[in-house]
Amino acid sequence: MDALADLLDGPRARGAFLLRSVLTPPWSVRIADLAPLTLVHMVRGDAWIRTDDAGARQLRPGDIAVIRGPEPYTVAGDPETEPQIVIRPGQVSTDPDGDELCERMDLGVRTWGDDPTGVEGPGGPAARGPAAGGPPASAVMISGTYQMRGEISSRLLSALPRVLVLPGDAWSSPVPALLSEEIVRDEPGQEVVLDRLLDLLLIAVLRAWFARPEAAAPAWYAAQGDPVVGPALRLLHDDPAHPWTVAGLAARTGVSRAALGRRFTELVGEPPMAYLTGWRLALAADLLREPDATVASVARRVGYGSPFALSAAFKRVRGVSPQQHRERTAVAP
């Protein structure tokens, strides 16, 4: 398995929040739900995503945005429109004064907004507009929210910008259309279907995103294509529990120890063993979220000879013990 595959192996939605929103201009929604990650697919109309620290990014029909939390942000038809709706923790929607809007704006199965005609989709009454002699057409977007940090690996979150936008014409995938069809169905097992579709959509979007020049992908991503460092990275990711040394890794990649160390550090930004330590501890941090995992079992899986060795390395690098990390992530949004 390569490093990107390892990174994208993390998303595991469990009861994710998925919603089809139908909103008439002027509209603006403040998202303050503390969620770690949200995807927004713009089905119809334009929108702007505005963060407090990164300005505004435009979404056009077909575009998909990935927004990393838990900091709040605003999605609006116009970046200057003040929010009329606030999404709070637990996906509770209110007006800015705190009065609940959930029931008032319910438009049916996983559909919400202020335009009942918008649920009919393209070609229906919602496709009206000034050219048709009617009011402005509604914006339609599908959002999928991972509600718990444990559903998304810390390695993946740390590799993402605050907001990324993948243009609709930059890739091709059947997943957005399939999600659009499935989100309004109310059938047995539908929650699991939607969870898996959200995972698949995120993986497809990020794979396309990391291949784009503006992605500013992590150094290890570009290094995967190197004839020396690429195989070394795959070896480390395939078997992190192996007792690797620089000499052993160099022998497997067919170069000298000095050549591997120099090339690896140049492309990845740190020596091979430092990278391996970071990868082992990142993997351990994710494994510790599993309810049945013990520190001893995690230590064996990531290449530490004892739980004490893992605890010492974990505390040295991350500043907390594995148990403290487990307790913190158990209550984190």
3-state secondary structure of 13: coil
Q: According to the model, what pLDDT value does residue 131 have?
A: 42
Closest by alpha carbon to 44, among 135, 171, 137, 183?
A: 137
Q: What is the set of domains in the chain, with CATH numbers?
A: 3-215 (2.60.120.280), 219-331 (1.10.10.60)
Q: According to the model, what pLDDT value does residue 134 have?
A: 47
Closest by alpha carbon to 140, among 38, 50, 33, 59?
A: 59
Task: Compute how many other C-beta atoms are within 10 angstroms of the C-beta atom of residue 234.
Answer: 17
User: pLDDT above 90 covers what percent of the chain?
Assistant: 59
pLDDT digits (tens, 9 = 90+) for 76-118: 999 999 999 999 998 899 999 999 988 888 899 999 998 777 6
CB under 8 Å to 193, separation ≥6 — which residues? Answer: 182
Q: According to the model, what pLDDT value does residue 331 have?
A: 54
Q: According to the model, what pLDDT value does residue 150 have?
A: 64
Q: How far is Cα 238 from Cα 229, in angstroms, rounded to an integer? A: 14
Q: According to the model, what pLDDT value does residue 46 have?
A: 95
pLDDT digits (tens, 9 = 90+) for 160-206: 889 999 999 988 899 999 999 999 999 999 999 999 999 999 999 98
User: pLDDT above 70 covers what percent of the chain?
Assistant: 89
DSSP labels for 280-327?
A: HHHHHHHHTTSTT--HHHHHHHHT-SSHHHHHHHHHHHHSS-HHHHHH
Report the Cα 213 to chain-centroid distance in Å: 19
Instruction: Report yes or no: 320 and 314 within 8 Å, Cβ to Cβ.
Output: yes
Q: According to the model, what pLDDT value does residue 10 have?
A: 66
Q: How far is Cα 81 from Cα 56, in angstroms, rounded to an integer? A: 12
Q: According to the model, what pLDDT value does residue 118 have?
A: 61
pLDDT digits (tens, 9 = 90+) for 204-220: 998 899 888 777 777 87
pLDDT above 70 for 16:
yes
pLDDT above 80 for 24:
yes
pLDDT above 60 for 66:
yes
3-state secondary structure of 178: helix
Using CB atoms within 10 A of its CB, is residue 123 exposed (0-12), middle (13-18) or buried (19+)? exposed
pLDDT above 60 for 255:
yes
State the pTM of this model: 0.79
pLDDT above 90 for 306:
yes
Report the Cα 220 to chain-centroid distance in Å: 19
pLDDT digits (tens, 9 = 90+) for 106-160: 899 999 998 777 655 443 444 444 444 445 678 999 999 998 766 667 777 878 8
Phi and psi of 178, rounded to 5°? Answer: -65, -40
Task: Compute how many other C-beta atoms are within 10 angstroms of the C-beta atom of residue 217.
Answer: 17
pLDDT above 80 for 248:
yes
Q: Name the packing angle between helices 257-268 and 246-253 (round to 10°).
A: 90
Instruction: Report yes or no: 249 and 229 within 8 Å, Cβ to Cβ.
Output: no
